[in-house]
Structure 1
Amino acid sequence: MADRTSSSITIQAGKEAIMEVIADYPSYPDWADGIKSAEVLSRYPDGRPERVRMTLSSGPISDTYTVRCQWSGDDELRWDLAEAGAVVTGMNGSYALAGRTGGGTEVVYELAVDVKIPMIGMFKRKAEKIIIDAALKGLKRQVEK
């Protein structure tokens, strides 16, 4: 997997409230640009998603793939590609949450994606950055509404 791209945002809410929105995969199409559907295929005993099938349609890329989630309480979600799609051949990412002095929670989103389409590294990182920034802004809107 290539270099990871990351960005962060501060959300005026606690970690538990933010993780509740992150864990609600079926609602992603309501706030995460490009995600057309997200179906939870299996769950951990605590009810959090373990495997999720997602359909993405962003610019020239449309694909369906499955991710495997690993949770660290309300501090972090990590995922990797469990089943590749027609275009997405590799993926790993994370949301890491940390309380901030003075209030709010900093959310750091990291992502690395490999696709079958040949792509220069600089353009790939730019595309990852666009995905990350849109997801963070959507998450902030969803949590703070």
Structure 2
Amino acid sequence: MAPYRQVSYWLGDFRNGDRANGKEEIFNHSHSKLRNVIERAFGVLKARFPILKRMSLYSLYTQKYIVIACITLHNFLRQISIDDELFSQYDDEELIMENDNANHQLPSTNNSSGTSNAVFMQRFRDHATEQL
């Protein structure tokens, strides 16, 4: 689900004590915070298991099992490790993990299925915005 265009989005936009104003900005701020949590989760996984950075060397079938194994080990370590440096580093909510490769534009859709999906997602986003 894409954030609203031409509305403040990145966490840095709200760091100076500025609060989100208006429905779209509140949605974008929430979206950005959630995205940051996800990026931190992937960040700790990639830091602990560097193989995840080189996945294209393997078939999709093998990649699937590598990811499952890494996440299983991660969850096991999470349960038994009380003072883990990586967990502590990436648990910091102030750590901003904005992905440099992130697609900042809405994807273009050239087929009717893509258009209907885009319309559905816009409506879903608008409904979520109203709920916030």
Select the structure that is richer in helix. 2
TM-score, length-scaled by structure 2: 0.31
Select the structure that is richer in strand. 1
Bigger radius of gyration, 1 or 2?
A: 2
